[in-house]
Amino acid sequence: MTPTRATVLLVLAVAAQRTLPRLALWLSGLDFVLMAVVAVALRSGPGAGVVAGTVAGLVQDAFGTGLLGIGALGKTVAGFAAGAVAGQFMLGSPLAQLAIYLGASLIHGLIVAVFLGLTTDAASSVSVTLAVAEALGTAAAGVTCEQVAEWWRLTRLRRARQKGLPD
């Protein structure tokens, strides 16, 4: 993935995170920025995952009301982990992608919960069940996006071949 595409993806993710939950409340449980970070990491490696997690996380934190850096830290580590795992295994199947997204979401959630506990009393109100459910939702959404992206890539490729055949 080129840096431009990665940047566009991250900007779109931040924008989605800021707008979509206003349209539907259940969408507030999904972390679109994290999905974008993992997507970048899967395609460009752990270094890109770290950069993407840092930048996008800081931007997301800056728009939020919490402490600046907590979400970014979680996304940085999650992006690194996703990129590192992606470099070791073939991750073409949806199940493997689900595992990556779910692992990254859990790492992110754990780090955020720990630092919230260290810095504020907010951790006591965090429900483990809800956190896992949100992680599962984010992972499922991420895999869905991956599949959509793959379908879209294959469709474009097919159309390109169809256009090129008469030539």
Partner 1 sequence: MARVELLQRPLPLLGAAVLLHLSLISAQVTTSSGLPLLQAVAFGAVAEMQRLVMASGSVVVDAWRGYVALRGAHQDNERLRTEVQQLELRLQEERALAQQAAELRRLLELKTAAPVETTAADIIGASGTSGYRAILINKGRQDGIDADMAILSPTGVVGRVAQPGLHTSKVQLLTDRTAAIGAVIERSRAQGVVVGGGVQVLQMQYVSGLADVREGDVVVSSGIDGVYPPGFVIGSVELVDRGPVSYREIRIRPAVDVTQVGQVLVVTSPTRAPSESTGSTEP
Q: Does 24 bind partner 1 (CB under 8 A)?
A: no
Cβ atoms of 96 and 62 closer than 8 Å:
no
Of the two residues 19 and 119, which places its CB atom closer to partner 1 in the complex? 119
Of the two residues 53 and 145, which places its CB atom closer to partner 1 in the complex? 53
Only one of the segments 8-16, 73-81, 129-137, 143-151 lies at the binding site for partner 1 (rule: CB under 8 A); that segment is 73-81
What DSSP designation does 28 have?
G
In degrees, rounded to 5, the angle at the alpha carbon of residue 95 between the alpha carbons of residues 75 and 35 is 25
- What is the rounded CA–CA span in Å between residue 100 and residue 140? 11
Binding mask 105-144 for partner 1 (x = CB under 8 A): ----------x--xxx------------------------
Residue 18, phi-psi category: left (phi > 0), alpha (psi -120 to 50), beta (remainder): alpha
Q: Does 73 bind partner 1 (CB under 8 A)?
A: yes
Instruction: State which of residues 16, 67, 110, 113 lies at the interface with partner 1 (CB under 8 A).
Output: 67
Tokens 């728009």 map to which residue?
63
Instruction: State which of residues 10, 39, 72, 85 lies at the interface with partner 1 (CB under 8 A).
Output: 72
What residues contact 89, with CB distance under 8 A and at least 6 apart? 96
Q: Is 9 helix (H, G, I), strand (E, B) or coil?
A: helix
Q: Does 83 bind partner 1 (CB under 8 A)?
A: yes
Cβ atoms of 52 and 36 closer than 8 Å:
yes
Instruction: State which of residues 17, 32, 49, 59 lies at the interface with partner 1 (CB under 8 A).
Output: 49
Of the two residues 32 and 80, which places its CB atom closer to partner 1 in the complex? 80
Question: Which residues lie near partner 1 (CB under 8 A)?
Answer: 44-51, 53-54, 57, 67-70, 72-73, 76-77, 80, 83-84, 115, 118-120
